[in-house]
Amino acid sequence: MRKFTLLLAVLAASGIASAQTKCEASINGYRIRTVYVTGNQFNAVVWAYKHLSEETCMTPVTDPAKADAILETINPYQSASQQPSDGPLTVTCSSSAGSSSCIDSEGNELDVDCDSSGNCSSYYGPSPGVAILHAFDEWVKNASYQAEVKLYTPDHKLIWKSETQKGATWHDLWPDKLREATGSPVCPRNPFSAHRYKNYRQWASERCGVVFDPLVSIDIKANARLAAKQATANQRQAETDEMKRNAEEAAAKQKAQN
């Protein structure tokens, strides 16, 4: 009897093991395990660094050299002149002892600073010297889920964009479309499971035996200090331009009267 019970336990354990599925992301055969996040929808960047590992099979990283892909978030509510250019997205980085700084070709910057004890703080936002005041206003006004996103290879070749992806349901947002497009294991749930559903990682691991890489949640802060500094510079420049324009107009009138 004890042998029979032991046999049943072994069979049950092997059945559970065989039912497990590795959570892996890929697009048309290109495997994506790690992702560097950037873009002009700052709420979406902050959200992705903290929650991408919960909602997809991909892990966020703050070093593009360690990324299999670059995820660009785009604010769809900005005017055409403020949208990212159609050219290839590029990211350049510099580093020194305990700190690193990466900036993309649209002027968005990610800074990471660590002290001697290994405690790190990270900031994401517009780079000084770039006209971004309106963009930062949009960060305040728009929620992270309203972004459109694109995926690039590390050598800046576009491989996917959310606006052309049809979601599995009418209420799918860009994280859902990204998860579906990258072939994450499907773990169905009904509308009555909402109170038990925290995120895809929790649900798929508990209900469908999906095995994930270790959870990574990076708490990026939007760099309001950079935006405030740039806003002040923009205001001063605007005042200088206005004073110069007023003086030129007055001079023109004065000349016409003489």
Number of compact structural domains in the chain: 1
Kindly tell me the sign of the dihedral angle through the C-alpha atoms of 38, 44, 60, 222: positive
The answer to whether position 87 is within a domain reads yes
The answer to whether position 258 is within a domain reads no
The answer to whether position 223 is within a domain reads yes
The answer to whether position 32 is within a domain reads yes
Q: Which residue has the tokens 């509308």?
A: 191
Q: Give the tens place of pLDDT for each residue, 210-233.
A: 999 999 999 887 655 555 555 555
> pLDDT digit of tens for each residue in the chain (258 aa)?
555 445 444 444 444 444 689 999 999 999 999 999 998 888 889 899 999 999 999 999 999 999 999 999 988 776 554 556 666 788 888 888 788 888 888 888 888 888 888 888 887 877 654 544 444 554 444 567 678 899 999 998 999 999 888 877 777 889 999 999 999 999 988 877 777 889 999 999 999 999 999 999 998 876 555 555 555 555 667 777 778 888 888 888 888 887
Total-model pTM:
0.65
The answer to whether position 257 is within a domain reads no
Q: Which domain holds residue 125?
A: 17-235
In the prediction, which pLDDT does 86 show? 60
Any residues with CB less than 8 A from the CB of 169 and at least 6 apart, and which? 176
The answer to whether position 75 is within a domain reads yes
Residue 45 and residue 14 in contact, taking contact as beta carbons nearer than 8 Å: no
In the prediction, which pLDDT does 186 show? 93
The answer to whether position 9 is within a domain reads no
Q: Give the tens place of pLDDT for each residue, 40-78.
A: 888 889 899 999 999 999 999 999 999 999 999 988 776
The answer to whether position 181 is within a domain reads yes
In the prediction, which pLDDT does 18 show? 46
- Kind and range of the H or E run holding 226: helix 224-257
Closest CA to 38 of 105, 116, 94: 105
Q: Which residue has the tokens 């580093």?
A: 95
Residue 50 and residue 217 in contact, taking contact as beta carbons nearer than 8 Å: yes
